[in-house]
A and B are shown apart, each in its own frame.
Chain A
């Protein structure tokens, strides 16, 4: 037990862990060239162990393709560092002014590590695309998708009854039947592709795999427009989009087949630019329904309206000096909307969410906001202050000691050759 305490509180462990985190950060950065930031983050920093492969694009890949390195991941190093720090403090702690800086630094670092973990667990990021004049009361997840069935018989626009199931790529392999008591039918997932290319049969390359034909899809856009669905590899390139696609069969209460549809993110209705696909509607028992696969939505207590987006460039150049969005926030029960301007380095904070100007499109008439929910937001601020005070204290102490020591010593002799 004592040796265990000694091990966990040792400086050797600290050094090993620091070097391991260095390796983690280095290889995690290298792989971003291949996998992009988001995927690398999952592979390296939010994982226990990562495996680094010699990249295909590097010279000499034919000789080094066997080269693989296991890299300790963030979820291994982080907790060990926390344990190491805690043990070392218990073991070595002595109340002394000279050590005050060290204690502060380590407390701050501990707080930073814990805060980062808290952030990774709790933080949510969403996107909000708005055209000028458009209003929305929800934001969308960046990556997670959902399958939704909407009953279109509501008396008023926007009050339709919506049933949504989160897409879970793992459990979707087992071809689950999605049920919901309020719906008179079930949805069985026949297949799911994290990415697929959908195009006209005439344009498709010869001999391409057509998942729609394989599953004999007989309803919806794909069958009406004679499209092919070709499963594709997920791309991690910056800016590349992956179209999550599912093939579903609707079944009546007794399990009888009502037809097969392809639902895909490619038929999205939300973002600007792509508007070629109408919603997929059908009638059942005298009611109209819509079925779709889309980014998961999170509803807001207010709706956001984009009044105007501006994009100013320095004259004679393409260098922008301003992106800004004039926005109205319509809150329920309030007569007058709240007006505000969102621009670079000046986000809108509302209801625990922060809206940042992130992108734009449609010839400068559409604006995209990144919406972040992060309850641990203040932690880094506090720990930064603590560590900086500690570092400054310790550095000044060392400098002061060094100078006094030197003043006591004799002046340096100089030799002449």
Chain B
């Protein structure tokens, strides 16, 4: 009987995970006959790297709406890419998309939506109140730490509006004078005008009045396109062709994926050059065709033109073009979301295994953790491949990596001690770190952005950063294993002497591992600092945070060697390790913006405080609630 229950359970789990996998691998449904998938795959240059248009859409929508999709008027889900296509080819429709997230009641008040429950607003909702908003924007304190919640909300909205503005009209020139020219230009209108003005640059018309008009028109266009060039968020057009000469050929595309080679240019830049007599690249016309096909909904024309553009890039960019395609696929796959869900499942099952059916549940939790870990590894590897950087380059990627390494350790531990402790602690941390990472995306925007000059050293990024981060992983793992220990020791019959001993050994071993990596990582950081700033140690908050982890793990080990603490005390110390590591990871960054006045309003700050408070409560409870007397081992 039991046998069959077990296999039914395993089959159900396998089905569940299988269904989840299918959901993640399935192509995105854009609810359109047009080939938006092909459109989303086209490479452009944005925020200092080459990425698919789909990434541009997602990154910027996350910054504006705090999520990468929105709900249309009919209440259906639409993707970021739907919105970007509308923004470029059908701006009136894009203005109806509710993509501005506004939480503060006073800002809603400006939009006359005080009592409204809705959190998302469209450009059309905002436009009528632009005057009032502009006046409020003027009052925003220049320094971020001096802003209150209202001003922070305003600054966020201002930034979102700026992004909206900067993305508009970046592949086809918007109608210049809306009343006269409502539709998108056909290739024979504005572009020909600009090209013509460029060619005739040195030949003023004989008629004096005409010459003056031409000159005025030229100046007006120059001003307009300079503005467009200044607000560029993306560069989609070639600056020069491979030989360095100005672009001549129809349909020419940028020659290099190396952003430092400066071979990409924005639409504004291309138009300015055309006014100076340079020939417009053919891709400008191609985009105009795409825009008209989209607006007129001519499926065949849209699809064929998008295919042509994609093929040109494939020829020119070679392997970098392949990378762009891969990133597009990765956006859709969203491996970290998959892992996040499976880790949660694994944790629930591992926790249940101490209540009933350990023989059935423990292997299931272990296997699930490994499944999630494999996808986690795939995502991490994919980022390394796309970025050509070691795994940790930002706070976001540190969250991904901390979780990943914890699971690696747990796999190793669980493989040797099949008690379910490591599966539970590992999947809990995996889940938590991926949630943290998902939240960080909303602040960082592009999580694979280029590295600032001082960090632009793959050697140190590959040595110091991962070593310190592994130290974080290990202290968190020790802390979470300690939580399991403290809880189980207080439930009668849940921690037999053998597993108690094994668990103690794990926490001790992982703490030693943490000291090894934290120390080495911290000293490597000192050496990097010595190499680039001329001092080994500068008492900078982040350095101090790492030092605190070293000091604390050393304290734990010495306290144990000196028999100054018993098992419970040692576990409580491991919980303090959680606090110190969380402080070192996030607290020191908040100190950077200053622990001044309104810094306390930050959500992240309160989350950190809740975490610290939870650990303190656990430590205190562990002191007051004694381990159950059935327990044969002296615990204090």
- Please list the residues of chain A having a beta carbon within 8 angstroms of any beta carbon in chain B: 10-12, 14-15, 18-19, 21-22, 25-26, 28-30, 32-33, 37, 40-41, 45, 55, 57-59, 112, 116, 119, 123, 125, 312, 314-317, 319-323, 343-345, 347, 354, 356, 358, 370-372, 374, 377, 380-381, 383-384, 387-388, 391-392, 394-395, 398-399, 402, 406, 412-417
Residues of A near B588 (CB, < 8 A) are 29
Task: Determine whether B359 belongs to the interface, using a CB cutoff of 8 Å to chain A.
Answer: yes
Q: A316-B46, A316-B234, A321-B456 are known contacts. Are A37 and B533 too (CB-CB below 8 A)?
A: no
In the complex, residue of chain B having the shortest beta-carbon distance to the beta carbon of A120: B537
Of B109-117, B257-265, B329-337, the one contacting chain A is: B257-265
A15 engages B559 (CB within 8 Å) = yes
Q: Identify which of A316, A395, A406, A417 gathers the most chain B CB atoms within 10 Å of its CB.
A: A316
Distance A417 CA – B551 CA, assembled complex (angstroms): 42
Q: Chain A nearest CB: distance from B505 CB in Å?
A: 7
Q: Is A30 touching B595 in the complex (CB atoms < 8 A)? A: yes
Q: Which of B215-223, B308-316, B516-524 contacts A (4 or more CB under 8 A)?
A: B516-524
Please determine whether A314 and B562 come into contact, CB atoms closer than 8 angstroms: no
Given contacts A28-B539, A414-B418, contact A392 B596 (CB under 8 A): no
CA–CA, A414 and B499, complex, Å: 10
A315 near B509 with CB under 8 A, answer no
B555 engages A415 (CB within 8 Å)? no
B356 proximity list for chain A (CB < 8 A)? 417
**Least Cβ distance of B600 to chain A in Å?**
6
Collect the chain B residues with CB atoms within 8 Å of residue A392's CB.
516
Q: B515 is contacted by which of A19, A371, A383, A391 (Cβ under 8 Å)? A: A391
Would you call A319 and B48 a contact (CB within 8 A)? yes
Stretch at the interface among B16-24, B290-298, B428-436, B447-455: B447-455
Instruction: Please give 13 more A-B residue pairs, beta carbons under 8 A apart, in addition to A25-B544, A26-B548.
Output: A29-B544, A33-B595, A33-B596, A41-B539, A116-B536, A315-B235, A317-B449, A319-B450, A344-B454, A344-B532, A377-B536, A388-B520, A399-B509
Complex Cα spacing A388 to B519, Å: 8
Q: Which residue of B lies closest to A345 (CB)?
A: B532
Q: Is the CB of B505 within 8 A of A402?
A: yes
Can you list 16 A-B pairs with a CB-CB distance of less than 8 A? A14-B558, A22-B551, A29-B541, A30-B595, A33-B595, A57-B596, A316-B45, A317-B47, A319-B450, A321-B48, A344-B532, A345-B457, A371-B534, A372-B534, A392-B516, A399-B509
Contact (Cβ within 8 A) A317 B454: no
Q: How far is the CB of A61 from chain B (nearest CB, A)?
A: 11
Interface of chain B residues 533 through 586 with chain A (CB within 8 A): 533-541, 544-545, 547-548, 551-552, 554-555, 558-559, 561-562, 564, 580, 583
* Proximity string of chain B (222-240) to chain A, C-beta cutoff 8 Å, 1 when within and 0 when not: 0000000000111100000
Q: Which residues of A contact B554 (CB under 8 A)?
A: 18
Q: How many inter-chain residue pairs (CB < 8 Å) link A and B?
A: 197
Give the most central of A15, A372, A388, A392: most B CB within 10 Å. A15
Expressed in whole angstroms, the minimum distance between the Cβ of B228 and any Cβ of chain A is 13
Tell yes or no: B131 within 8 A of A by CB.
Answer: no
B533 and A358 form a contact (CB under 8 A): yes
Q: What CA separation (Å) do A387 and B159 show in the bound complex?
A: 49
A141 to chain B, nearest CB (A): 15
Q: Are A323 and B591 in contact (CB under 8 A)?
A: no
Q: Is the pair A384, B527 in contact by a Cβ cutoff of 8 Å?
A: yes
Indicate the member of A15, A28, A119, A315 with the most B CB atoms within 10 Å. Answer: A315
The reply to whether A32 and B520 form a contact with Cβ atoms under 8 Å apart is: no
Say yes or no: B541 contacts A32, CB within 8 Å.
yes
Is B450 in contact with A387, judged by CB distance below 8 angstroms?
no
B355 at the interface (CB under 8 A from A): yes
For B450, the chain A residues whose CB sits under 8 A away are 314, 317, 319, 321
Closest to B460 in A: A345
Complex-state Cα separation, A74 to B417, whole angstroms: 43
Docked-complex contact B595 and A316, CB < 8 angstroms: no
User: Does the CB pair A416–B357 fall under 8 Å?
Assistant: yes
Q: Is the CB of B502 closer than 8 A to any CB of chain A?
A: yes
Complex contacts, A387 vs chain B, CB 8 Å: 519, 523
* Contacting pair A356 B358 (CB below 8 A): no
Q: Are A316 and B232 in contact (CB under 8 A)?
A: yes
Q: Contact flags (1/0) for B494-530 with A, using CB distance below 8 Å?
A: 0010110010010001001101100110011011001
Report the Cα distance A55→B515, complex, angstroms.
32
Beta-carbon contact of B558 and A314 below 8 Å: no
B259 lies within 8 A of A315 (CB) = yes
Q: Give the CA-CA distance A26 to B545 in the complex, in Å.
A: 8
For A59, the chain B residues whose CB sits under 8 A away are 600
Asked if residues B47 and A123 are in contact (CB atoms below 8 Å), the reply is no
Task: Encode B438-463 as 1/0 by CB contact (under 8 A) with A.
Answer: 00000000000111111011001000
Q: Which of A10, A21, A370 contacts B551 (CB 8 A)?
A: A21
Give the distance in Å from the alpha carbon of A344 to the alpha carbon of B528 in the complex: 11
Q: Are A321 and B562 in contact (CB under 8 A)?
A: no
In the complex, A345→B530 CA distance in Å?
9
Given contacts A18-B551, A316-B232, A416-B359, contact A377 B530 (CB under 8 A): yes
Q: Is the CB of A28 within 8 A of B544?
A: yes
* Complex alpha-carbon distance, A268 and B616, angstroms: 53
B527–A381 contact, CB under 8 A? yes
Chain B residues in 8 Å Cβ range of A343:
453
A99 shortest CB reach to chain B, Å: 12
Asked whether B26 is an interface residue with its Cβ less than 8 Å from the other chain, the reply is no
CB distance from B457 to the nearest CB of A (A): 5
Does B531 have its Cβ within 8 Å of any Cβ on chain A?
yes
A358 to chain B: which residues have CB within 8 Å?
533
Contact partners of B547 in chain A: CB under 8 A: 25
Please tell me if the beta carbons of B516 and A45 are within 8 angstroms of each other in the complex: no
Instruction: From known contacts A377-B530, A412-B417, infer whether A15 and B562 are also in contact, taking CB-CB under 8 Å.
Output: yes
> Cβ of B539: which chain A residues have Cβ within 8 Å of it?
28-29, 32, 37, 40-41, 45
Q: How far apart are A97's CB and chain B's nearest CB, in angstroms?
A: 18
Whether A316 pairs with B564 at a CB distance below 8 angstroms is no
Does B591 lie within 8 Å of A316, measured CB to CB?
no
Q: Check B555 against A19 for contact (C-beta < 8 Å).
A: yes
A320 to B453, CA, bound (A): 6
Mark contacts of B600-618 with chain A using CB atoms, 8 A cut-off: 1 yes-contact digit, 0 otherwise: 1000000000000000000
Q: Is the CB of A37 within 8 A of B538?
A: yes
Report yes or no: A123 in contact with B541, Cβ–Cβ below 8 A: no
- A12 touching B591, Cβ below 8 Å: no
Docked Cα-Cα span, A388 to B526, in Å, equals 14
Indicate whether A316 sits within 8 Å of B532 (C-beta atoms), given known contacts A18-B554, A344-B456.
Answer: no
Does B597 lie at the interface of the complex (its beta carbon under 8 Å from any beta carbon of A)? yes
Query: Is B60's beta carbon under 8 Å from chain A?
Result: no
A32 to B538 CA separation, bound complex (whole angstroms)? 12
CB-CB < 8 A to A55: which residues of B?
A: 595
Q: Given contacts A345-B457, A417-B355, is CB(A402)–CB(B536) below 8 Å? A: no
Q: How far is the CB of B54 from chain A (nearest CB, A)?
A: 18
CB distance from B605 to the nearest CB of A (A): 12
